[in-house]
Structure 1
Amino acid sequence: MTSHFPLSVLMMLLVAITLSEGLRGSGPKDCCYHFNKNPIPQKRVVSYVKTPQQCPIPAVRLKTVMGRYMCARSSASWVKDIINTMDSKVLLGKATNL
């Protein structure tokens, strides 16, 4: 008679994974919860993305020249300046990273 223990352990593991994935919800994955307090120099930012409206806190994800994403509050004046500058470059056809 073979033991059903390994099969039972496998089934319990699959149930645990399924439940934990279901508890995460279907909300957006790119929300920001921690924000840069210090302004990032504009020359270090290559692009930006606004977080989805479903996120609890409106924010902007700034991509740096090093490829890192940093979260910033969209209401901060320095963030608005970066967005305005980048948007004006796009309108003039100068930006290629957006």
Structure 2
Amino acid sequence: MFAARTVLLLTLLLAFSLHHTAGHTSPRECCDRYARKTVRVTSFYKTPQGCSLPAVVLVTATGDTVCANPNKTWVKTAIENLQRKK
């Protein structure tokens, strides 16, 4: 009985670990929602076309990443300003 419990526990831990690793999507992959507030941006990149939610990932001065709606005026303005600086 002890061995069966141990095997079951290890199986569940492994399954959770694999699910957590595979299910975690960082902004470098796809976004699941957009930011609601404007942020100060130092760089940006677009999410891949295969993502269900088209987004622009904005990178802040502290290195934080924020998903933003590419159709919002403030996002377009931020991107234009960054492109002008290059």
TM-score, normalised by the number of residues in structure 2: 0.68
1:57 aligns with 2:44: no
Task: Please say which structure displays the higher CA radius of gyration.
Answer: 1
Find the aligned partners of 1:52 and 1:75 in 2 and give their Cα distance.
Answer: 16
1:55 to partner: Cα distance? 1.7
Runs of 4+ deviating beyond 4 Å: 22-28
Paired residue total = 83
Does structure 2 retain, via aligned residues, the 8 Å contact 1:28–1:55? no
Unaligned runs of 5+ in 1: 91-98
Could you say what the CA RMSD is over the residues aligned between the two structures, in angstroms?
Answer: 2.8
Unaligned runs of 5+ in 2: none
Does structure 2 retain, via aligned residues, the 8 Å contact 1:28–1:52? no
Structure 1 segment 34-73 matched on structure 2, within 5 A: 34-40=33-39, 44-73=40-69
1:81 to partner: Cα distance? 1.6
Percent of pairs with identical residues: 31
TM-score, normalised by the number of residues in structure 1: 0.62
Give the partner amino acid of 2:60. T
1:19 aligns with 2:18: no
Find the aligned partners of 1:27 and 1:64 in 2 and give their Cα distance.
Answer: 21
Residues 68, 24 of structure 1: alpha-carbon distance in 2 compared, 3 angstrom cutoff = closer
Find the aligned partners of 2:60 and 2:24 in 1 and give their Cα distance.
Answer: 26
